[in-house]
Amino acid sequence: MQPVRNIVVLTGAGVSAESGIATFRGPGGLWEGHRVEDVCTPAALRADPALVHRFYDLRRAALGGVAPNAAHHALAALDRAWPGGLLIVTQNVDDLHERAGATRLLHMHGALLSALCAACGVRTAHAGALPPGSRCAACGAAALRPDIVFFGEMPYAMDRIVDAIGGCDLFVSVGTSGAVYPAAGFVEWANDRGAATLELNLERSAGSDRFDESRLGPAGELVPAWVDELLRERR
Ligand code: APR
């Protein structure tokens, strides 16, 4: 096998589970009692903006009570230490990767601590509640919405993701069920490109068969062990 130089890490809700943030499809998760169609589609936002804004207000407020776990810290340590290419692509909208110190990071499904202007498309940092009708500082329209990529919308930065996977030698997926595309298809892109592929997940996922190797267990144990192994091999 070629020595690893360029790495892409995809993370999902499982990486934040040990921090106390519920996953979507696990027991007790499931969108905190809401149906996806009611809170995470453009149609839901049009039909009941108060409900959709409140759903994300609660999730934004909950960030104050959680902290990065060992998996976030290990990925941030990898980011600091890895001399080659690295891109951490997260599907998560929490800020735990950046709080741990990761910088080579991209939020493909948006971010709770950001607001998106539906009128002009500008994204601005936003903490606290975001009531419907909040005004955009850039264009003045009363059109700010949660900066969350809803089902049916295009994830952010797909061109950067395509480039990074197209140039990686190792693709690692952490804590994602492999249920939602396009992220669920990244492992195939990595396989097509000839990269090694590794899954770190609590249980077998919809995509497990597509990885060269699948390690099962909590991210808080598996990710630090994998990062140690990688950095040790590098020395
Ligand atoms: N360590 C590792 N994996 C875990 C842990 C843990 N401590 N706890 C749970 N998991 C695994 C679960 O077994 C599951 O396979 O994490 C995965 C979480 O899956 P989902 O809840 O489906 O979350 P995710 O894959 O991130 O969802 C993708 O779907 O609803 C949309 O936009 C939302 O970004 C989200 C996308």
Selection from 3, 23, 21 nearest residue 178 by Cα: 23
For ligand 1, atom 8, which residue shows the shortest CA distance? 14
Query: Is any ligand 1 atom within 6 A of the Cβ of residue 16?
Result: no
pLDDT tens-digit map of 154-188: 999 999 999 999 999 999 999 999 999 999 999 99
Residue 25 in this model has a pLDDT that exceeds 80: no
pLDDT tens-digit map of 112-139: 999 999 999 999 999 999 999 999 999 9
pTM attached to this predicted model: 0.96
- Mean pLDDT of the 97-105 span: 98
Q: How many CA atoms lie within 13 A of 201 on its CB side?
A: 25
Mutate which of 180, 181, 205, 223 for ligand 1? The one with the most ligand atoms within 8 Å of its CB, which is 180
Separation of 45 CA from ligand 1 center, angstroms?
Answer: 24
For ligand 1, atom 30, which residue shows the shortest CA distance? 24
Query: Is any ligand 1 atom within 6 A of the Cβ of residue 72?
Result: no
Q: Left if phi > 0, otherwise alpha if psi is -120 to 50, otherwise beta: which for 178?
A: left
153 sits in which H/E element: none
pLDDT at 26: 64
Residue 223 makes CB contacts below 8 A (sequence gap 6+) with 15, 70, 71, 74, 75, 174, 200
Mutate which of 21, 161, 201, 211 for ligand 1? The one with the most ligand atoms within 8 Å of its CB, which is 201
